Chain A
Amino acid sequence: MSMELRTSPHLVGDRSVERIMKHVVLSLLPICGFSVWQYGLSALALLLTVTATCLATERLFNRAAKQPSTLNDWSAVITGVLLALTLPPAFPLWMAVVAGFVAIAIGKALFGGLGSNVFNPALIGRAFVQAAFPVAITTWVPAFSAQRFSEFVPTTLTAPLMMPPDIVEWVKLQAVDAFTGATPLARWKFENVVASSHDLLTGVVTASAGETSAILILLCGAYLAARKFMDWRIPVAVLGSAALTAWLFQLYDPAHFPAPTFVLLSGGLMLGAVYMATDMATSPVTPLGVWIYGALIGVVTVMIRYFGGLTEGVMYAILLGNALTPLIDRYTQPRVFGTRQQGKKK
């Protein structure tokens, strides 16, 4: 007897894993497009390289495990695209290949593939390259440079295993006004400069390839939520708890801590809340659990940003939330209809 093993949801209808994944990919396209428009060829090459690596790795592990190909469920594409969007636009391509391989191999295939993974694969990939190449992953380039569609940023085409070249001179040649080479979060942390909400909303700031425009990410997320391809509670809980925490800190010391809007709009919080934290395989399934999970991610993100050594904490906050997901699920099981609550007498 042959039995087909599939991940949830086990529904008869049009709601297949493939369909949901396809819509997530579709909703990511505007963000990718914006990224390519901002950073040009380098961002395009980054997106294509990481996605291709993820697909190839997925196929490789399918073959090693003698399983049928799982490429057509589109999940590897999502991992690839999301991973690329969290990397700096001029990230060397060979490092991007490492990130993509680690994301699928260690983050997903070794756990048993889609649905069995404990952590968000894209974030595993990013966490690995963050630990392996701390300099390259914090090297930022200006957006909208004049030759962005005709030439690569020098670091993009670094030879494999080699150190990326210094791009200070190249950045000067681009003559983009007021480029500081630091993200808004780093500028706040080390120079106490708070970027304007307008810049953060429209995405004219220094950041990873896909985390610049908060408006665009929110719109794409709203589409997914409206079509019910995503649990809207998770981003709401993440953003709400982050805003609340930031607001409390600002009440306590307005001179030192920035406004909640800055916390919400800067860095990767938007992208993380909408696309990373909502990963179905690694987030809780109970209604109460989802709120706890989201709130936890929001609070931890703000704590890392304010008191940690790093400028950005979304990635570690979500990974921590992923790790706690089974525990949250266990303690928030709803009462089965028709049964008594545990511990209560008649």
Chain B
Amino acid sequence: MSLPNQADQGITFDTFMEGVWRQNPVFVMVLGMCPTLAVTVSAVNGLSMGVATMFVLVSSCLLVSLIRHLVPKEVRIATYIVIIATFVTLVDYLIQAASLALYEALGAFIQLIVVNCIILGRAEAHAAKNPPLPAMLNALGMGIGFTIGLLALGGVREILGAGQLFGVSLFGASFQPWVVMVLPPGGFFVLGGWLLLFAWWARRKEVRHGA
């Protein structure tokens, strides 16, 4: 895929929508696969991981964009990482305070948001070259796209693996859980299924436009 030079394009609708759909980090760019595969055993886990990442993404992109003229080129990556790490620490404590169960379910993957390549990629490719408002909008779009991806995986895995969605039982007590879906292979199967669906959909659209 080609990432166009994203310097100062101004705000268009695409600034926001790019991450949600056309360049969706999970389904199109296939970035951030560690949390995508590891924590999506349930819809709640997927959603909270997505929201946590989105918060870090938007906040750090805002900060990176604000100081974009002050940071020397040579130390920019280190600067971005420090900024991102700050927000990750914030999220880490916030989740721990809000829900210990969720904190334990997500485990090390909260701290690992710091090395999520979507965030560093956005900071480097967009926020560092754009004013705060478009940078935030773009980050928000990416964050929503990532959350949609995690939710799609977590939803399918929870429905098949436990017979419920957001903890609400769908099929009654005698549902037969598909054990494989909450195991690591299930993550790969469901991700593969979604990627297949997206690629098929994109190709169909392409063919239709070409014809």
Which positions in A face B, CB cutoff 8 Å? 95, 106, 110, 128, 131-134, 136, 158, 161-164
Contact = CB atoms under 8 A, between A and B. Distances in A.
Contacts of A161: 163, 171, 175-176
Nearest to A129: B180
A131 B176 contact: no
Contacts of A134: 179
Contacts of B179: 131-134
Given A161-B171, A162-B171, A128 B176 contact: no
B174 interface: yes
B180 A128 contact: yes
A133 B183 contact: no
A335 B99 CA distance: 66
The 7 closest A-B pairs by CB, nearest first: A131-B180, A132-B180, A163-B176, A132-B178, A163-B174, A162-B174, A161-B171
Interface string B161-197: 0010000000100111011110101000100000010
A133 B181 CA distance: 10
A164 B180 contact: no
A132 B175 contact: no
Nearest to A98: B178
Given A131-B185, A132-B178, A162-B175, 19 more contacts: A95-B176, A106-B189, A110-B196, A128-B180, A131-B180, A132-B179, A132-B180, A133-B176, A133-B179, A134-B179, A136-B176, A158-B176, A161-B163, A161-B171, A161-B176, A162-B171, A163-B174, A163-B175, A163-B176
Contacts of B178: 132-133
B184 to A, nearest CB: 10
Nearest to A92: B176
Most chain B beta-carbon contacts within 10 A, residue among A95, A132, A136, A158: A132
A134 B185 CA distance: 15
A138 to B, nearest CB: 13
Nearest to A94: B176
A146 to B, nearest CB: 28
Contacts of A136: 176
A161 B177 CA distance: 8
A161 B181 CA distance: 14
Nearest to A95: B176
Q: Which among B175, B178, B189 has the greatest number of chain A C-beta atoms within 10 A?
A: B178
B175 to A, nearest CB: 6
A163 B174 CA distance: 5
Contacts of A131: 179-180, 183, 185
Contacts of A132: 178-181
A64 to B, nearest CB: 8
B173 to A, nearest CB: 9
Q: Which among A128, A134, A161, A164 has the highest number of chain B CB atoms within 10 Å?
A: A161
A232 to B, nearest CB: 35
Contacts of B196: 110
A95 B180 CA distance: 13
A136 B179 CA distance: 11
A95 B171 CA distance: 16
Nearest to B171: A161
A216 to B, nearest CB: 32
A162 B176 contact: yes
A132 B183 CA distance: 9
Nearest to A163: B176
A163 B176 CA distance: 4
A75 to B, nearest CB: 22
Nearest to A131: B180
A131 B175 CA distance: 17
Nearest to B173: A163
A134 B179 CA distance: 8
A311 B175 CA distance: 27
B190 to A, nearest CB: 12
19 contacts: A95-B176, A106-B189, A131-B179, A131-B180, A131-B183, A132-B179, A132-B180, A132-B181, A133-B176, A133-B179, A136-B176, A161-B163, A161-B175, A162-B171, A162-B175, A162-B176, A163-B174, A163-B175, A163-B176
A271 B164 CA distance: 39
Contacts of B176: 95, 133, 136, 158, 161-164
A161 B171 CA distance: 8
A106 B181 CA distance: 15
A106 B179 CA distance: 18
A277 B179 CA distance: 27
Nearest to A106: B189
B55 to A, nearest CB: 35
Contacts of B174: 162-163
A136 B196 CA distance: 30
Nearest to A165: B174
Contacts of A133: 176, 178-179
B193 to A, nearest CB: 9
